[in-house]
Structure 1
Amino acid sequence: MTTEKVEVLIIGSGPAGYTAAVYAARANLKPVLYQGIQPGGQLTTTTDVENYPGYPEGVTGPEMMMDFQKQAERFGTDVRFGMITKVDFSVYPLKAVVDDEHEIEAQSVIISTGASAKWLGLPGEERLNGKGVSACAVCDGFFFRGKDLVVVGGGDTAAEEASYLSKLASKVYLLVRRDEMRASAIMQQRVERAENIEILWNTETEKILGENEVEGVRVVNNQTGEKQDIPAQGFFVAIGHKPNTDIFRDYLDMDENGYLITKADSTETNVPGVFASGDAQDHVYRQAITAAGTGCMAALEAERFLAAQEADLVEGTPTIAMK
């Protein structure tokens, strides 16, 4: 297996990874970025983006990510297609393996692997994604003003999405598969107080209706077996996200859901030289603009870390000791 030495390795693309690359490249750190299994991240599945500054007329998700990539490459980022399949953060330099065949020794690592929305696995769910099917109310709710919408889920995410959409939509149906919600009491109260939210208990989605766009959903009561078709123009899946962090589990601190834990007001992880940005460590905001912000933070902190390492070598003091 060949081994390559780099100063900054960026794992994953999207707003966080590409922003980190822009800053790292401008600092002459010669970043190497591996795009991962979904180059450009979740935004490549989004049709229209209208809430990112600098695009007054809006932009499609794929176009926006191409702009990010071009800007990163303009300053010298080595953007590569490939996936990091293994890491070893117990040693320094930090090690990573690309596609099980190429090893990299990195002086610092920026993680921007993002998170993936959990889906129901319904027929038509993938086909109509971006055509009425969404996993982000804040991202796409604006396009459904005055429409009838369906939200699926029973936790805080679903309650928050339904509450947000109720301010834009004509009607919101919240489908809860049990006879109670898992959401916190305050979130349940917000849903119950909204006049245009109707909760359908013990209800599951059987089918999304519509060929080229969402026209409604067929639901079934899991107690009585009764089915009904609900006319709707939007279908929002709010059953959570899964951070793409499994390969870091043996080395980095993460919460019970797999989100990487960083120090307060920082992107530093528990391993020196490893920084986490974007949706891999953010389970609260999950927006392109906040991901880009943490990508910037990660690059600046990586630059300071490397400068401190260089100063230690010059002064002859010990460099970092891995646990």
Structure 2
Amino acid sequence: MLDLAIIGGGPAGLTAGLYATRGGLKNVTMFEMGMTGGQITGSSEIENYPGQGAIVSGMDLMQSWPEQCQRFGLKHEMNQVSKVTKSGDVFTVTTADGKTQEAKSVLLATGSVPRRAGFKGEKEFFGRGISTCATCDGFFYKGKEVALIGGGDSALEEAVYLSKICSKVYLVHRRDTYRAAPSTIEHMKACENIEEVTNVMVEEVYGDASGVTGLKVKNRDRGEIRDLAVPGVFVFVGRDVLNEPLKQDDGTFLCDVNDQGEVIVDLRMRTSVPGLYAAGDVRIEAAKQVVCAAGDGATAAVNIIEYLG
């Protein structure tokens, strides 16, 4: 039986594995179907990770993590976990090939993925001018004009964040009204360099070999096309939480989740089910930064060691 089953091989899962095995747990397996490192490996430039002076790619940043995190006995099983159940004090981890393993504790660190808006050019220019993280990439557009697509709390909050860095932010939304809280909307409207471009559909984002050079939007009532010449487009139309392993046969979740499917945890990364923990972007109120995910993993591991006693 495993002391700890870690589901996910990003910064949260890797760090949890390091702290758990170095802290004395003997049977710890991390389930990750593909290459470890998480979503950050797809980023072209990272310059805000503490202690990393040079600007590096996400792949370069994560290159040494697996070896270090496996140094104390963490095992990596290249398999996808399809379901986690619990009977008594024991968890059963079922993988995609139908095999099962029992574990005394489980950490879910599967993360979440940005929801795609589906407009023309989104796939082609993703990572080359199209971003889903203002904190990560906003600095690259310092003093420039950018566009942001979305109308929820996250979108408006990120628009305000970008307004402090960029010369102008076009807030593009398909409706005349926003889904954000009134206080968030008021805060956004107070920013003089945010221009609201509402009741429009994104026709396409276009560019050249260097990346994005602009986007075209179409007014939903009049059909007019407006061309916004910007080098950066930020998309905030929601995230899909990768919580599938927690879904039970009856359609419920193994532990409490919120309306967006994010796992509800406390400050110790504990869920509503004893022995089940969640860390990184899969949990509520995640900052969606590598350093924060790693901190979550360390926090979870320390408390799992205490839980196992």
TM-score interval, normalised by the smaller of the two chains: over 0.9
1:205 maps to 202
Instruction: Determine helix, strand or coil for the equivalent of 1:215.
Output: strand
Tell me the amino acid that sits aligned with residue 80 of structure 2: M
Equivalents in 1 of 2:72, 2:124: separation in Å? 37
**TM-superposed deviation, 1:218:** 1.0
Tell me the amino acid that sits aligned with residue 280 of structure 2: G
Over residues 178-209 of structure 1, what are the superposed CA-to-partner deviations in whole Å (9 max), with x where a residue is unaligned? Answer: 11111112221222121211001101211111
1:26 maps to 22
2:228 maps to 230
Q: 1:153 to 1:85 in 2, by over 3 A?
A: same
1:273 maps to 275
Equivalents in 2 of 1:303, 1:156: separation in Å? 36
2:67 maps to 70
1:117 maps to 114
2:290 maps to 288
Structure 1 gap ranges (5+): 308-323
Equivalents in 2 of 1:70, 1:129: separation in Å? 30
Match of 1:171 among 168, 172, 181: 168
Instruction: Determine helix, strand or coil for the equivalent of 1:180.
Output: coil
Structure 2 gap ranges (5+): 248-252
**TM-superposed deviation, 1:122:** 2.3
Q: Structure 2 length as normaliser, TM-score?
A: 0.93
Tell me the amino acid that sits aligned with residue 161 of structure 1: E
Match of 1:162 among 152, 156, 159: 159
Over residues 1-48 of structure 1, what are the superposed CA-to-partner deviations in whole Å (9 max), with x where a residue is unaligned? Answer: xxxx31111000111111101101212323211124674222122111
Q: Structure 1 length as normaliser, TM-score?
A: 0.89
Instruction: Determine helix, strand or coil for the equivalent of 2:84.
Output: strand
Equivalents in 2 of 1:15, 1:184: separation in Å? 31
Q: Contact 2:32 / 2:80 at 8 angstroms: preserved in 1?
A: yes
Q: Contact 2:20 / 2:301 at 8 angstroms: preserved in 1?
A: yes
Q: Contact 1:86 / 1:100 at 8 angstroms: preserved in 2?
A: no
Equivalents in 2 of 1:11, 1:135: separation in Å? 24
1:137 aligns with 2:137: no
Moved more, 231-240 or 59-68: 59-68
Q: Contact 1:152 / 1:175 at 8 angstroms: preserved in 2?
A: yes
Equivalents in 1 of 2:272, 2:35: separation in Å? 27
Percent identity for Structure 1 against Structure 2: 37
Q: Contact 1:45 / 1:129 at 8 angstroms: preserved in 2?
A: no
Over residues 104-124 of structure 1, what are the superposed CA-to-partner deviations in whole Å (9 max), with x where a residue is unaligned? Answer: 111111110111111112232
Q: 1:74 to 1:95 in 2, by over 3 A?
A: same
**How many residues of Structure 1 are paired with residues of Structure 2 in the alignment?**
302
1:313 maps to none
1:53 maps to 50
